[in-house]
Structures are given as structure tokens and as C-alpha cells.
Structure 1
Amino acid sequence: MRFYTVFPEFKNIHIKKDVGMIPILLHSLKGYDSTIVCYENEMNYNKEQLKGTKLITVPKEKDDTKDFLKFIIKNAKNIDVLNLYHVTSPRNFKWMLAYKLLNPKGKIYLKLDADHNINIYKYHQKSFKQKFKNYILKNCDLITVENEKIQKLIENDWNIKVDYLPNGFYDDGNKVTSFESKDNVLLSVGRIGAYQKATDILLEAFVKASEYINGWRLKLVGPVDEDFNGYLNNFFISYPQMKDKIDLVGNVENEDELVKYYNEAKIFCLTSRYESFGLVFVEAEMHGCFIITSDHEASTTIVKDEKVGRIVGIEDIEDTAKAIIEICNNKDLGQKDFQYISEYAYKNFYWPQIIHELHRLLMKN
């Protein structure tokens, strides 16, 4: 099975994300002849990371739509499965149409990576343009989305078959089995200060909770948005006592170093305003962290079991503070719970299992 992932922006950071893991593990676990097609972006990776998956670069001549359309037209008959990402990009519709015209027996696998913004795309409307796009989508052999809320929304609004397939994590076969290094640490990983991540809500909630949770620290890992520096300065002026309770770690690119933060934390908290999925949640669960998450699109996918986490209101400082206080003061939260959370993650979000389901769907459609 010749499986081609066409993603012009592919870089190092994508190797461990869905764009990389799907072709790589379909090759190593299911024997697919996988290829990733992208621009010649700045990449510094070990070829062993691709596990035999080929990487083809396309020269930048015009724009991504035309450059990769040219590649697809030239290679369509040699592609058994064309894997594309996002339904929000007009370029994908041109690529899918060209591929199906040139290789009608070939399969298209479209992975949506969709959040709440999918609402603005009205592919079910009766204008010629939208009817045409709906027609192309219905000719996709497999469309998947990462959470069940968006799956139902799309199926109801667009009248298109969409399968649920979550994102996941991969441990290279080295399963996490020890949780002895955990401490009274509440961890958050992401783009600190980005509107989507609502770091301000978490900080305000932690202030309210701090006097009731002695000995707990909040660690924020990730790059800080420049526009958020002003907020942080004012925050620590208003709450000088929090300087000794909050660590702004900054961006951590080294994977082993990031794992240390997950291993250290008992609780992982992210108060996002919206998420398509949020890989950091399952990475945290993999390492046994109890989850506190806002009620975004993916929340009930990430936390299906109250033993795994707590869902709080979006932009709800009081609700978030209450959850932090309750979980931090739960003296029964221990090794057995961390083990249970980790096993939950392996059962629901482990890439090899997700790949097995994806292979089944590709064979079925």
C-alpha cells in the first residue's frame, strides 16, 4: 500500500505529531510503503526517527497549492492512499479533485484536525461552490476527526460520514511503569499567554487556590507570547507572594527534559478556550498526571473517566480554583491512581492501537 502524506509545512516538530506518526507507524507496524511530501524546510532529524518512511521534498516555485498540485498530477497513479490534513484549506479541494480524476481507484484519507472554528464552514449550503466542495468531501474514502463532539457536529451539519480517531502518544516501546518521582507540582504545557490556552485563567485560579494548598507549585512550560509579558509583570506586582510558587520554565525542546516535568507533576492543568485535541493531555496522562481541563471540544474525549480528570467551565476562575483545591488536598491520590491514569492513556491514546484502527478503516472503505 503506497501511502503518501502531503503536508508542505512538515518540519521536525511534526515527526511526533499525527502528521509524522501516521505514515511512520503505518510503515513500521503495518508494512505500508509510506512517503511524506513537503517543502525543503529547515529540518534537523535523525533518519532513524522516520523508521524507513521516505521523505520527498518539492521545490518551491510558485505557491503551495500549485507546487503540490503539480506533484500530485505527476504521481497520482503511483499513490494508493493520499493523506491530507484540514478541511479549512482551499488547496486540499484542488488536490483531492485532481487525484480522483487521475486515479479513481485511489483512496483519499482526510484528517480534519478540527476545533470549534469548523462551525464557520458551511459545506452543506446550496451555493454551487459549497455543493461542489461537499461533493468532493463525499468522495473521500475516509475522513476522521479527533474528538466526538466535532464528529457529531460535522455529520449532522454537512451530512458527511466522519469517523472518530483520536491523536495519541508513542513511547518507542518503553512503557512508563514508575511514578515514584511525583511531587506536589501542578504542571501546564503549551504556548504561555496564547489566547487559546487561557493562561490568565489558570494563573488567577491558582492565586485563589494557593492559600488552601500549602506546599504546591505551579510550573508553566512553553514559549511565552510577547504580548503576555505585560500581563505577567502586572500579575507578579499584584501578587508578589506568587513569585515563590510559580515557575516560568520557558520553552523545552529536549524531549527527555520535558518527560522529567511530566514525571514530577501529580496534576496537569490546561484551561484552554478551545482545542481540536491537545496532545499534551495524553502525554500527561501517559505519565500518570491527573487532568484538570476546561470544557472545550475535546474535553470529554480526554477525560471519559472521573478517576482520570476533572472538567471545569471555560474561563471559569472559581470553578478551576475549586477543582485545584479539591484535587491537591486529596490525600488518597497516589501511586495506584497514577498507574490507573497511565493505563487509561495506553488503552485509549497509544499510537500503535490507533494505527491498528486506522488500518482497519482504510481496508474497510
Structure 2
Amino acid sequence: MQKIMLIFDNIEQVHLGKDVFLVPYYIAKEFNKELIILTGKNRTGVSEYRGIKIIEKRSKLPLFKEMGIYFYMILNSKKIDRLILFHLGIKPSLKANLYKILNPNGKIYVKLDLNLEGLIKSQKYKFNNIKEKIYYQIIKKFLKNVDLFSSETKEIYSKIFENGLYGIKIKEKIEYLPNGFDDVLLEKLNMKINAFEIKEKIMITVGRIGAYEKNTEMLLEALNGIDLKNWKILIIGPFDEKFKNKFKNFLSKNEEKIESVLLIGNISDKKKLYEYYNKSKVFILTSRWEGSALVYPEALRFGNYILTTDVGGAKDITNDSEIGKIIAVDDINALRKEIKKIVEEKINLEIKYNKSLKLSDEHFLWSNIIKNSKKVKSIFN
């Protein structure tokens, strides 16, 4: 059986539910390959997850933290048929280039996880001084050695297809692969998606609450002056003391919302989290920027109407606003206006629900995303 190796420098518990784990997991599952994960620090608390071994090679040298990974590669690369890496930059470039030296017949797939800001930065890189010129040569070799790159959004994919990376054309190597939903896990959890009539008048937001880029404060500000009637707003995710104080201040000015706007906190249990999605009708995302939010396909899978700022992946997940609404970043008035429309039942959420489930089935399940990609198949089959 052929072996696939994912290298991810520091893997944490949260990564086991994200694309870091799910992309190689579904590839190995679809093409019947053996998968191992190589990391410098394993912070998951487990050495195996869903049948996948996690190998930690931690270096004791403070200035060479990744030497354990490189030593493992030197000893084992010839036994590894396919290598999976994440992101664009010097670290994945060095690993890919070393792997190709050690195993010229091996193939490499890189999931870029790149937002528009990062792409623009790569296009403007000048490579003026010696250090930057050396960096360019490493990157240039990296772009040649990698067999497949994927982008999470159609916008980024199109720009890379047309312009390449760092001025180097790679159109034959780039593929649009959106972030998907973990359908195997849902089946294991024995959960069924609620029919629309079972769902409740609940809107949720999920993420790192209070983080600057998530801009959860925008939601609180938008809720000022709105009569929510019999709707509830649930704020789900880890939060710090600073946001907790902002939330308390919001409730002190909106006492009528004490029962309707709730700060739930972090939910690490996927089944409990999915139960919130399953009973909700609306998902709200207020981010200032995203590559492609992993909460998008979760909300879509449960038929939630998606109300989102105009960030990476927003157009894809709403099918160009057909099944959701996209507003400008930081536009509090627009968010308030859209929430009022929902509360006042000016949007037919049931029609949106049915279209959301159809879009999820066709384009945003990991099993289908991997199965339907010709370029992934050409690399791993």
C-alpha cells in the first residue's frame, strides 16, 4: 500500500476537526492509502486519531526546532509516495525541495490556505537584496517541485490561474478545492439534519469570539435598537475577559435582550456544536477577513441561511448571494437591516434552507470534493 505523509509543524487538538487533518484523511480514505502525520510538536493529546498515526519528532535544539522533522525526512522520504503540505512560504518550500531531492519519483500536494491579502503580497514581492534573491530561488524550485496546489476560493484560484505565484505561472498545477464538511463524522455521530419546520428561531455565530479579525463586536452593535421578538442570538466560541466585559456592557444597555442574546462560550464537543447548527435557522459571520472560513460548510450542511461580510469564500458558500446575504465588512447598518428582515419574516428561509442542503450535497462535502477532483485523482490514485 502506498504511503502518504502530511507534515504540519505544530498540530493541536483543534486541527483534528479542520482541513489540516481532514484533507489528507479524506484523500487516504478515497484512494485507499496509508497516511501518517509528521509533526514537530503534537499537542493533540493522542498519538492516533481515526486510524491515523501522529508521529512527533521534537528537536531539543532551540535554534533548530524543526531538525527532528528533517532527520525523519532524510531517513524515510524514499518510503513515502506522496507528501502533503500546507501554506505558501519558506518552511513548506524547504521541506518540499528536500523531499524531491530524496525521492524524485514522489509527488507533492500543497493546500495553499491563502487569502487575498497574502496573494497580493506574493505578487508584489520585489526580491531586491541577497536574502530575498535566495528566498526567490527556493520558492522558484518549490513551485517547480510541487505537483498540485489547491485554493479554497474561486477568486483566489482564478487570480493564481491567470497570474501565477511570485510571477511564475502554475496554471496546470492549480485546482479549486473548497473547504468542506466532515460527512463521515456526521454519520458516526448518528445525527440527522433537522427538517426546516423543526428548526427554531435562532441565529448563531461561531468562532474565536472577540478576536480582532472576527469582529464579533459588530454583531453586538448591530443588535442595538432591534426588537428581536421571539428570536434568539447565540454567540458560540472561546472568548476572553475583554469581550466578556463588552458583552456585559451590551446587556446593561439592552436589558430586554438578557434572555434573547446569549454568550454560550466554547464548545469542543462536535456533536453538541452541530446540535446548535441543527436547531438554528441563520448563521452570522462578521469577520474582517478570512481565507475561507471553516464554519461556512458547517452552517451550510445544516441548511442555515448565511448572513456574512464580504470575505474569502463568501460568494462561493452563498452561491453568489443566491442562498445567503453578503454585506460589506464593518457595515453595522447593513447587518442591522438584514437581521431586521429575518426577524420580520421578509426572507423566505425555508426556500433558502432547501437550496443550502442541495449546494452542500453537490459541492461542500469532503468526500465529494476529493472524489470529484480530477487533479487530486491524478496525483493520488
The Cα shift of 1:269 comes to: 0.3
> Which of 160, 169, 186 is equivalent to 2:203?
186
The Cα shift of 1:358 comes to: 4.7
Residues 326-357 of structure 1: CA distance to partner in whole angstroms, max 9, x if unpaired? 23333663555423312211211101011214
> Which of 156, 165, 170 is equivalent to 2:177?
165
Specify the alignment match of 2:136 in structure 1. 131
The Cα shift of 1:167 comes to: 1.1
- Does the Cα contact within 8 Å between 1:222 and 1:251 map onto a contact in 2? yes
The Cα shift of 1:54 comes to: 3.0
The Cα shift of 1:360 comes to: 3.9
Specify the alignment match of 1:323 in structure 2. 338
When residues 55 and 364 of structure 1 are mapped into structure 2, their CA distance, relative to the original with a 3 A threshold, is closer
Which letter maps to 1:341? S
Q: Distance in 1 between matches of 2:347 and 2:178?
A: 30
Decide which moves more: 265-274 or 68-77.
68-77
Which letter maps to 2:358? E
The Cα shift of 1:222 comes to: 0.4
Specify the alignment match of 1:110 in structure 2. 110
- Does the Cα contact within 8 Å between 2:153 and 2:292 map onto a contact in 1? yes
How does the TM-score come out when normalised to structure 1?
0.90
Aligned: 1:197 with 2:217 = no
Decide which moves more: 213-222 or 286-295.
213-222
Residues 311-333 of structure 1: CA distance to partner in whole angstroms, max 9, x if unpaired? 01100011111111223333663
The Cα shift of 1:23 comes to: 2.2
DSSP 3-state at the match of 1:87? coil
Structure 2 unaligned runs (5+)?
none
Q: Distance in 2 between matches of 1:45 and 1:347?
A: 33
Residues matched between the structures, number: 360
Aligned: 1:2 with 2:3 = yes
Decide which moves more: 328-337 or 191-200.
328-337
When residues 176 and 345 of structure 1 are mapped into structure 2, their CA distance, relative to the original with a 3 A threshold, is farther
Q: Distance in 2 between matches of 1:122 and 1:184?
A: 45
Q: Distance in 2 between matches of 1:138 and 1:316?
A: 42
The Cα shift of 1:43 comes to: 2.9
Matches within 5 A, 1:201-212: 201-208=218-225, 210-211=226-227
Aligned: 1:314 with 2:329 = yes
The Cα shift of 1:34 comes to: 1.3
Specify the alignment match of 1:94 in structure 2. 94
The Cα shift of 1:190 comes to: 0.6
Residues 77-112 of structure 1: CA distance to partner in whole angstroms, max 9, x if unpaired? 112111111114x22221112111222221111111
Decide which moves more: 337-346 or 98-107.
337-346
Q: Distance in 2 between matches of 1:150 and 1:16?
A: 24
When residues 226 and 72 of structure 1 are mapped into structure 2, their CA distance, relative to the original with a 3 A threshold, is farther
Specify the alignment match of 1:149 in structure 2. 155
Residues 290-321 of structure 1: CA distance to partner in whole angstroms, max 9, x if unpaired? 00010012211211154421101100011111
DSSP 3-state at the match of 1:196? coil
When residues 157 and 233 of structure 1 are mapped into structure 2, their CA distance, relative to the original with a 3 A threshold, is farther
- Does the Cα contact within 8 Å between 1:69 and 1:94 map onto a contact in 2? no
Matches within 5 A, 1:30-45: 30-39=31-40, 41-44=42-45
The Cα shift of 1:278 comes to: 0.9
When residues 347 and 46 of structure 1 are mapped into structure 2, their CA distance, relative to the original with a 3 A threshold, is farther
The Cα shift of 1:122 comes to: 4.6
Q: Distance in 1 between matches of 2:164 and 2:28?
A: 35
Q: Distance in 2 between matches of 1:336 and 1:297?
A: 25
DSSP 3-state at the match of 1:186? strand
When residues 358 and 61 of structure 1 are mapped into structure 2, their CA distance, relative to the original with a 3 A threshold, is farther
When residues 168 and 56 of structure 1 are mapped into structure 2, their CA distance, relative to the original with a 3 A threshold, is same
DSSP 3-state at the match of 2:340? helix
When residues 228 and 134 of structure 1 are mapped into structure 2, their CA distance, relative to the original with a 3 A threshold, is farther
When residues 102 and 237 of structure 1 are mapped into structure 2, their CA distance, relative to the original with a 3 A threshold, is same
Specify the alignment match of 1:299 in structure 2. 314
- Does the Cα contact within 8 Å between 2:305 and 2:353 map onto a contact in 1? yes
Sequence identity (%): 30
